[in-house]
C-alpha cells in the first residue's frame, strides 16, 4: 500500500500513527509558475525544475533530480495493491489531486481521503479515522479530473469558465477551487488578482508584519492553501515590479522583521483609480496560460467569468 500526501507534514504524522504502507510526500507547487499542457513530459519537468529553482532559491540539479525521482515513484505506483491519496479542500491541494488522478489512472485500486479541513492539524487518531473513510476513486471522478486538468493547463484559460459555473458531484470542491484560481487573473476593475488584492487590502487595514498579513490573507479554513514561501513570492513581486505596489522594510528587533506598507500608487490601484497591469504590463503564468501584453485575460467578478482583455459582456 502506498499513501501519497500533499507535502511532508501529514506524511510524518501518518508514519508516526503506524498507518499501514509507505508514505510518499508529493512535493510540487503546481499553483505557481508555468504548467502548460502542450509540452512533452520531459520538457515540462525541465520547465518546472527551472521555475522552482529560480523562484525559491534552490539548486537546479537538486530540484530536477527530486522531480524525476518523484515521477518515477508515481510511475511505479501502478504496481501497488492500493494507492491512497490524501488531500484537502483548497486550491493548492486540488491542483495536485487533479494531476495525480490523471497520472494514476492505471492503478489497481485508487482510494481518496478528501478532507474539508486541514489534515496537517490532525492528530494520529484522526488520521486513522480518515483512513477508514477512504473511498474508491470512480471512473467518473478520473474522467472529470482529466477534463479539469486539461482546462487548467490550457493556453486559453476561458476553458475554466464551464467548471466555475457548474458544480460537479464527482469532485465537490472543483467549482469553488477553480473559481479561486480564476480570481487570480487580473481583475477588470484594477488589474489586481485576488491574491494581490487581499495582500494589499490587508496592509491597508493595518496588517503590516508577515504573521498578521498571512493570517488575514486566507483565514481558517484556508481555501488557497498557500505556504509561507508561495505567499512571500507574491509579496516580493508586488514590491519589485516596475511600479511597486508595496514597500518592504526591516523593523527594529532581533532578528529584524520585515514590515510592509502600500506605496502611493498601490493605494491608487487598490482604490480602482489606476490599473496594476497597465502600470506594470503582464508577464506571468497561471496554470497553462501565459499572460503577456499581447495575450491577456481578466477576471470579471460580476460576471463570474474569465474574459479576453477588452471583452465586455452585455
pLDDT per residue as tens digits for the range 133-147: 999 999 999 999 999
Task: Show contacts of 241-245: CB within 8 Å, 24+ apart.
Answer: 241/280, 242/279, 242/280, 242/281, 243/279, 243/280, 245/196, 245/200, 245/269, 245/276
- CATH number, domain with residue 232: 1.10.10.10
Minimal CA–CA distance to 174: which of 194, 157, 149, 195? 149
What's the confidence (pLDDT) of residue 192? 97
Among 180, 214, 235, which residue terminates a domain?
180
pLDDT > 50? residue 6: yes
Range of the domain at 195: 187-281
Query: What is the mean pLDDT of the segment spanning 197-224?
Result: 94
Among 180, 199, 230, which residue terminates a domain?
180
In this structure, are residues 300 and 307 in contact, taking their beta carbons and an 8 Å threshold?
yes
Which one is predicted more confidently, 184 or 169?
Answer: 184
What's the confidence (pLDDT) of residue 310? 72
pLDDT > 50? residue 270: yes
- Tell me if 53 is assigned to some domain: yes
What's the confidence (pLDDT) of residue 252? 65
In this structure, are residues 90 and 176 in contact, taking their beta carbons and an 8 Å threshold?
no
Please indicate, yes or no, whether residues 25 and 141 belong to a single structural domain of this protein: yes
Please indicate, yes or no, whether residues 152 and 22 belong to a single structural domain of this protein: yes
CA 205 to chain centre: 25
Give the burial class of 116: count Cβ atoms within 10 A of its Cβ; 0-12 exposed, 13-18 middle, 19 or more buried.
Answer: exposed
What's the confidence (pLDDT) of residue 117? 85
State residue 104 phi and psi, 5-degree precision.
-110, 25
What's the confidence (pLDDT) of residue 52? 96
Which residues neighbour 54 within 8 Å (Cβ) at sequence distance 6 or greater?
none
Q: Determine the Cα angle at 287 with ends 283 and 290, to 5°.
A: 30
- Tell me if 293 is assigned to some domain: no
Query: Which residue in the block uniquely carries the three cell numbers 486539461?
Result: 150
Query: Which residue in the block uniquely carries the three cell numbers 497561471?
Result: 286
Please indicate, yes or no, whether residues 111 and 249 belong to a single structural domain of this protein: no
pLDDT band at residue 165 using 50, 70 and 90 as cut-offs? confident
- Tell me if 308 is assigned to some domain: no
In this prediction the pTM is 0.94
What strands lie across the sheet with 135-136, from one edge to the other? 22-25, 2-5, 83-88, 110-115, 135-136
Please indicate, yes or no, whether residues 27 and 124 belong to a single structural domain of this protein: yes
Among 123, 146, 180, which residue terminates a domain?
180
What's the confidence (pLDDT) of residue 314? 47
- Interval 54-76: pLDDT, tens: 999 999 999 999 999 999 999 99
Query: What is the mean pLDDT of the segment spanning 95-106?
Result: 96
- Tell me if 38 is assigned to some domain: yes
- Tell me if 311 is assigned to some domain: no
Euclidean distance between CA atoms 83 and 140, whole angstroms: 18
Please indicate, yes or no, whether residues 19 and 134 belong to a single structural domain of this protein: yes
What's the confidence (pLDDT) of residue 20? 95
Please indicate, yes or no, whether residues 157 and 58 belong to a single structural domain of this protein: yes
Overall number of domains in the chain: 2
- Tell me if 107 is assigned to some domain: yes
pLDDT > 80? residue 81: yes
Euclidean distance between CA atoms 120 and 11, whole angstroms: 9
In this structure, are residues 269 and 283 in contact, taking their beta carbons and an 8 Å threshold?
no
Query: What is the mean pLDDT of the segment spanning 284-299?
Result: 96
- Interval 152-164: pLDDT, tens: 999 999 999 999 9
* % residues pLDDT > 70 (the chain): 97
- Interval 223-266: pLDDT, tens: 999 999 999 999 999 999 999 999 999 766 656 689 999 999 99
Please indicate, yes or no, whether residues 156 and 197 belong to a single structural domain of this protein: no
Amino acid at each position: 500500500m502506498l499513501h501519497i500526501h500533499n507535502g511532508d507534514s501529514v506524511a510524518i504524522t501518518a508514519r508516526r500513527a503506524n498507518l499501514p504502507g509507505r508514505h510518499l510526500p508529493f512535493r510540487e507547487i503546481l499553483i505557481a509558475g508555468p504548467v502548460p499542457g502542450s509540452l512533452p513530459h520531459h520538457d515540462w519537468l525541465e520547465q518546472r525544475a527551472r521555475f522552482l529553482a529560480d523562484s525559491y532559491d534552490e539548486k537546479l540539479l537538486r530540484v530536477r533530480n527530486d522531480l524525476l525521482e518523484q515521477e518515477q515513484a508515481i510511475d511505479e505506483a501502478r504496481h501497488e495493491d492500493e494507492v491512497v491519496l490524501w488531500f484537502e479542500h483548497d486550491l493548492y491541494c486540488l491542483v495536485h489531486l487533479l494531476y495525480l488522478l490523471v497520472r494514476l489512472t492505471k492503478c489497481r485500486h485508487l482510494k481518496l481521503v478528501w478532507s474539508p479541513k486541514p489534515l496537517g492539524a490532525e492528530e494520529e487518531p484522526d488520521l486513522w479515522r480518515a483512513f477508514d473513510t477512504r473511498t474508491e476513486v470512480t471512473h467518473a471522478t478520473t474522467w472529470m479530473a482529466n477534463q479539469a486538468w486539461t482546462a487548467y493547463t490550457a493556453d486559453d484559460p476561458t476553458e475554466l469558465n464551464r467548471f466555475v459555473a457548474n458544480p460537479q458531484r464527482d469532485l465537490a470542491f472543483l467549482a469553488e477551487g477553480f473559481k479561486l484560481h480564476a480570481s487570480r487573473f487580473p481583475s477588470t476593475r484594477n488589474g489586481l488578482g485576488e491574491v494581490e488584492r487581499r495582500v494589499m487590502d490587508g496592509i491597508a487595514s493595518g496588517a503590516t508584519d508577515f504573521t498578521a498579513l498571512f493570517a488575514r490573507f486566507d483565514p481558517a479554513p484556508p481555501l488557497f492553501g498557500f505556504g509561507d514561501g508561495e505567499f512571500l513570492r507574491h509579496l516580493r513581486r508586488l514590491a519589485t515590479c516596475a511600479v511597486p505596489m508595496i514597500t518592504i522594510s526591516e523593523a527594529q528587533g532581533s532578528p529584524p522583521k520585515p514590515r510592509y506598507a502600500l506605496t502611493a500608487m498601490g493605494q491608487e490601484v487598490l482604490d480602482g483609480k489606476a490599473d496594476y497591469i497597465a502600470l506594470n504590463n503582464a508577464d506571468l503564468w497561471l496554470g497553462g496560460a501565459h499572460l503577456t501584453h499581447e495575450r491577456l485575460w481578466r477576471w470579471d467578478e460580476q460576471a463570474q467569468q474569465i474574459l479576453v482583455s477588452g471583452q465586455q459582456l452585455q
